[in-house]
Chain A
């Protein structure tokens, strides 16, 4: 009897279940749609002609669709220069930061040295240090040593502020390396430097790339430090450059919006690519 009733029950249960998960799906997508509507609206607006942006009541969907705002924004003034500055600053900061974090993470994971706990807690503690309280100290220091308004000061600042998070992420990746591999290499006569260069670095390469990508977008989108530590228009980063479309009297909406969407694309794409490597490290602090 029981075996007969099962096939009859299952479709019903399954239908109920599917029904429920469909409901959940609708609920999820409706709430998400409402919440990301502002971002969607920005994107739709970027495709409208300048006249249509100012239509009241608003044009809900862009018609005609145009890319004029993008081409104009990218050609406007010094935007190309800002892009180049940002690329340079973000790349150099990332490479330097990843390199020295890879070293310190190696020491912190595989060495038993005096003061290790102290450095470890400094790494964990400074991760959460907000940039806001560093603004004034850094502004003053760079001015005092005569490096205010230089690529160097901004890059050094970014390296310092990203260092602890990057080290923390890399420690997570290093810990995943099987001990046997390291033991085998040591028996084969590999010393600590060789172990680092030939075993640890190559094996944690995905982690290093992911950590690097995360630092890159962090620097790419940083605004407060960039606007405070750089006064020279020639050296502006792209996020500060966006701000130049907003003046006291006028906001050049069509260009501002197109440029905003354009500079977000690298951030979203890179984050999408490395998300699964990064999220574990980011949430580890709260979950473990």
Chain B
């Protein structure tokens, strides 16, 4: 894709070899501020943290010294580490699944024309557009034991005995924050899936209708298979985003009660800023970074394979 673009976009056809150096210099002048910022504010701190994570905490009597994987071993043996991993898996799987289902549901509805669709399309992304803190405030209020809407709706329909402090209870806190996570992001999934649905050629459906395919058959045989690549890439991106998203957890529970909602990023944050065990937090942060890079690697593999198979499909047709 890149190559064809460049070929089409070559603006000036000067004697190329002579001007190659000049072209490079001018291009890098335009790139310079971006390169400085990316190296200085993204790459340098990450590499520097990586390097420091192999050194011990300096004390008054003992300067910092190289301890290899010492910090990593202590964070891995932290009794809260494995539960945090487990919580991250539950949180990420649950939220991503919920967002995908809701996103698909709304994308399929909003793809069809109906009166007021423009309004519905705008409203469905409201939770996604709302600032993260406002989302957290909204749900803290929803879950309020006395004046929260959740408990009051339960009381109104005669299920008052189910009313409880949803966030203050070990058994319900995780589900409660997961609902918030799903709520915050499903609108984005709908947007992605809607964009994907629009790329499916309408004549496929027409042909299917002529052949007598039912709505359900069209959904299962045409829509879902053709939407699969979009679903796949969205979900992989969603995995990265969701596993690291802890703003809602931060404001709603701070990882509690009894660390029952503490996902990895929340655990790292608490280790660094509540327990001041900076060295261990650094090691944890690097473990998380490696995880993110691994998922990103998978993402790029999928995208690349998708392109190749798309190209093959075109060649076959």
Which stretch of A8-16, A65-73, A260-268 is in the interface?
A: A260-268
Interface: A106 (CB within 8 A): yes
* Contact assessment for B137 and A283 in the assembled complex, using a CB-CB cutoff below 8 Å: no
The answer to whether A28 and B117 have CB atoms under 8 Å apart is yes
Cβ of B142 and Cβ of A38 under 8 Å apart? yes
Q: Closest approach, in angstroms, between the C-beta of A191 and any C-beta of chain B?
A: 9
A109 and B282 alpha carbons, distance in the complex (Å): 37
A36 at the interface (CB under 8 A from B): yes
A214 to chain B, nearest CB (A): 11
Our pick among B35, B45, B199 for the contact of A287 (Cβ within 8 Å) is B199
Of B11, B42, B147, B250, the residue contacting A56 (CB under 8 A) is B147
Residues of B within 8 A of A109 (CB): 9
A38 touching B139, Cβ below 8 Å: yes
Determine the residue in chain A with the shortest Cβ distance to B6.
Answer: A112
Residue of B nearest to A37 (CB): B149
User: In residues 153-180 of chain B, which contact A (Cβ within 8 Å)?
Assistant: 155-156
Contact A21 B123, beta carbon cutoff 8 Å: no
Residues of A within 8 A of B40 (CB): 160
Q: Which residues from A are CB-within-8-Å of B93?
A: none
Q: How many residues of B contact A (CB 8 A)?
A: 100
User: B314: CB under 8 A from chain A?
Assistant: no
Asked whether A198 is an interface residue with its Cβ less than 8 Å from the other chain, the reply is no
B49: chain A residues at CB < 8 Å are 136-137, 140
Pair A130/B292 contact, Cβ less than 8 Å: yes
Residues facing A in B243-282 (CB within 8 A) are: 243-247, 250-251, 265, 268-269, 272-273, 278, 281-282
Query: In the assembly, what is the distance between CA of A217 and CA of B105, in Å?
Result: 28
Contact with B along A92-111 (1 / 0, CB 8 A): 00000001110110111111
Say whether A89 faces chain B, with CB atoms less than 8 Å apart.
no
Encode contact with A along B113-154: 1 for CB under 8 Å, 0 otherwise.
111110010111011011111100111111000110100100
Q: How far is the CA of A21 from the CA of B30 in the complex (A)?
A: 51
B137 touches A260 (CB 8 A): yes
| A195: interface (CB < 8 Å) | yes
Q: Is A156 in contact with B41, judged by CB distance below 8 angstroms? A: yes
Query: What's the least CB distance linking B107 to chain A, in Å?
Result: 11
A243 B230 Cβ-Cβ under 8 A: no
Listed stretches B59-67, B74-82, B188-196; interface member: B188-196
Report the interface size for chain A: residues with CB under 8 A from the other chain: 105
Q: Which residues in chain B, 296-312, are within 8 Å of chain A measured between CB atoms?
A: 296, 299-300
Residue of A nearest to B195 (CB): A283
Contacts of A114 in B (CB 8 A): 24
From 166 to 203 in chain A, residues with beta carbon under 8 angstroms from any chain B beta carbon are: 167, 175, 179, 182-183, 186, 192, 195-196
Contacts from B to A (Cβ < 8 Å): 1-2, 5-6, 8-12, 23-24, 26-28, 30-31, 33-35, 37-38, 40-42, 44-46, 48-49, 52, 102, 105-106, 109-110, 112-117, 120, 122-124, 126-127, 129-134, 137-142, 146-147, 149, 152, 155-156, 183, 186, 191-192, 195-196, 199, 230, 233-234, 237, 240-241, 243-247, 250-251, 265, 268-269, 272-273, 278, 281-282, 285, 288-289, 292, 296, 299-300
**Can you list 30 A-B pairs, Cβ within 8 angstroms, ordered by A?**
A21-B114, A22-B115, A28-B114, A35-B102, A35-B183, A38-B127, A42-B141, A100-B37, A104-B30, A107-B31, A111-B23, A113-B27, A119-B35, A130-B243, A130-B265, A132-B244, A137-B49, A140-B52, A160-B41, A163-B34, A175-B5, A223-B131, A223-B132, A223-B133, A224-B250, A256-B137, A260-B138, A283-B192, A286-B192, A287-B192
